[in-house]
Structure 1
Amino acid sequence: MPPKLGIIAGGGDLPLRLVEACRSAGREVFVLGLEGHADPEGGKLPVDRWSRLGAAGAMLDALREAGVRDIVLAGRVRRPSLAELKPDWRAARLFARIGARALGDDGLLRAVTSELEGEGFRVVATQDVFRDLLTPAGNLGAFAPDAQAEVDIARGVEVIRALGHLDVGQAVIVQQGIVLGVEAIEGTDALIDRCGSLRREGPGGVLVKMSKPGQDTRFDLPTVGAVTVERCAAAGLRGIAVEAGKSIMLDRETMAGAADARGLFIVGLEVPQ
């Protein structure tokens, strides 16, 4: 039997999906919900303990007391300012040690992972817990990108690769070769909403999501779900392209049905390394 899994839960559906997968497999879980980030999903997410993000000492103690050995970081976390964070002495010590690495999401997550492993925990990947979440290659649903969409996708891949080396964003929206917006701290949903007001006449744009070059695949993989489809349709986009094997696709059948109903394509990209 696998050891008890500690889920440090941010926002969105992913933490709940992991809990359900573990329950189906008979694996024990301990859910540590991050205050202001984790969404209880109308009471469905079984949070065992709540903690603020800056209370590193209390979080580590709670995980140990629960008998957790493996940890997965799951869900959206909005980066707070240092004033909002109110770090305890353990968190303050971590920030002092990592310095400039805290400026980028990937650098910060690597440092947090290193700290957890230094405390005796093992940080595992979401896909190691629930492999069916990974995006498959090829078209999902009834529609496929046309020639113009393929050009926009290629442009999006190029932009994400360039920005990824600077640890900035995992998503871009391209319409007819024009970059309408890139993801920064606001997240993908806000990016889609913002670009809805920037769209040009003619065929709609494409949302492209990829992992950053050299990204540690244990955390922060690009994630899409049915809500992504709804937002893209509302913003006048005509398709979604996500990296196959290195991104998470929630509720695949629901996504495909929603995309078909709205005339959008969804494609899993096989991106050469």
Structure 2
Amino acid sequence: MSKVGVIAGSGELPIEFAKSAKKKNTPVEIFAIKNITDKNIEKYGKTHWLYFGEAQKLIDTLKDRNIKKLVMLGKIEHHSLIFSFYKLDKRAREFFSKLKDKRAKSILEAVIQELEKEGFEFIDPSPYLSRLLIEEGIIGSIEPDENQIKDALLGLKIAKEIAELDIGQTVVVKDGIVIAVEGIEGTDRCITRGGELGGEGTTVCKVARKNQDMRYDVPVIGTKTLKSMKKAKAKLLAVEAGKTFLLEREKFKELADKYGIAVVGFKI
């Protein structure tokens, strides 16, 4: 089995991949970003720590370690990519200057293309993470009411259009009104803003892009999402089934029930 390099952002997803790879006897080496990647990832493979923007060092290390296959998992906030130009090395600055625009999808697709030119192959991590994909139906024991379902169906439709424009993947809806749309601030701050504007009882909707490339930026929910919703007094989390990763499932379900939040996977 050939070795896989894991370019790891923040959160649990890269750790979950590394755990799964270990169970499947797939050797991994991890390329972690200082002050972003969870340090616990070191338990699951040889870890190389780099500063954000050290593109040439990443490429050189991958080649030195004879790694050909890559996955890119975990969050690097969009605003970090846009507003940290001063942190980039020469290779990364040249890369950014050639981008047609700086939407998240454009950046991530260009990163993949740039590394593919260097001889690396990005693989689909889904076979290692399929157990995390949300199924259709209710997750937990709280059932949404009829009005919440209506809001969810509207919100999911709007979120799909917003995701296709690569503005964000989350919208907040209440009583048939779109209250907040995710921009550069990210999902959690969008949820909080939705609560500030809409008050109690909002519905949070999160989707994948149309024809989602499962190699990057697949939507993820976890206990952090629920904590943001509790702060916002939101009551329903509607997500796209089969295209959204759920972290720490049992802990997540317990917390959703404790907070009185309904969670539903919808087939779109």
Q: If the length of structure 2 is used for normalisation, what is the TM-score?
A: 0.91
User: Residue 238 of structure 1: CA displacement?
Assistant: 0.8
Residues 39, 261 of structure 1: alpha-carbon distance in 2 compared, 3 angstrom cutoff: same
Shift of 1:42: 9.4
Partner of 2:159: 160
1:40–1:46 contact (8 Å) kept in structure 2: no
- The amino acid across from 2:185 in the alignment is E
Partner of 1:238: 235
CA distance in 2, matches of 1:100, 1:215: 20
Is 1:255 aligned with 2:256?
Answer: no
- The answer to whether structure 1 residue 209 and structure 2 residue 206 are counterparts is yes
- For the 8 Å contact 2:195–2:202, the answer to whether it is kept is no
| In 1, Cα distance between equivalents of 2:227 and 2:155 | 20
State the secondary structure of the residue aligned to 2:161. helix
C-alpha RMSD of matched pairs (Å) = 2.0
Decide whether the 8 Å contact of 1:232 with 1:238 is kept in 2. Answer: yes
CA deviation after TM superposition for structure 1 residue 77, in Å = 0.3
Match of 1:228 in 2: 225
Partner of 2:100: 100
Q: Which moved more, 1:172-181 or 1:73-82?
A: 73-82
Kindly indicate whether the alpha-carbon contact (under 8 Å) linking 2:135 and 2:242 is maintained by their aligned counterparts in 1: yes
Displacement of 1:186 in angstroms is 1.2
Matched letter for residue 100 of structure 1: K
The separation in 2 between residues aligned to 1:193 and 1:4, in whole angstroms, is: 41
Q: In the aligned structure 2, how far is the partner of 1:197 from the partner of 1:89?
A: 42
1:112 matched to which residue of 2?
A: 111
Gaps of 5+ in 1: none
Q: Percent identity?
A: 32
- Counterparts in 2 of 1:10 and 1:160: CA distance versus 1, 3 Å: same
- Residue 128 of structure 1: CA displacement? 2.8
Question: What code does the residue aligned with 1:261 have?
Answer: K
Residue aligning to 2:193? 194
CA distance in structure 1 between the aligned counterparts of 2:16 and 2:204, rounded to whole angstroms: 24
Runs of 4+ off more than 6 Å: none
- Which residue in the other structure is 1:37 paired with? 36
**1:147 matched residue in structure 2:** 146
Report how many aligned residue pairs link the two structures. 266
Q: Deviations over 1:231-252 (max 9, x none)?
A: 2123211111111111111112
**Correspondence 1:176 to 2:208:** no
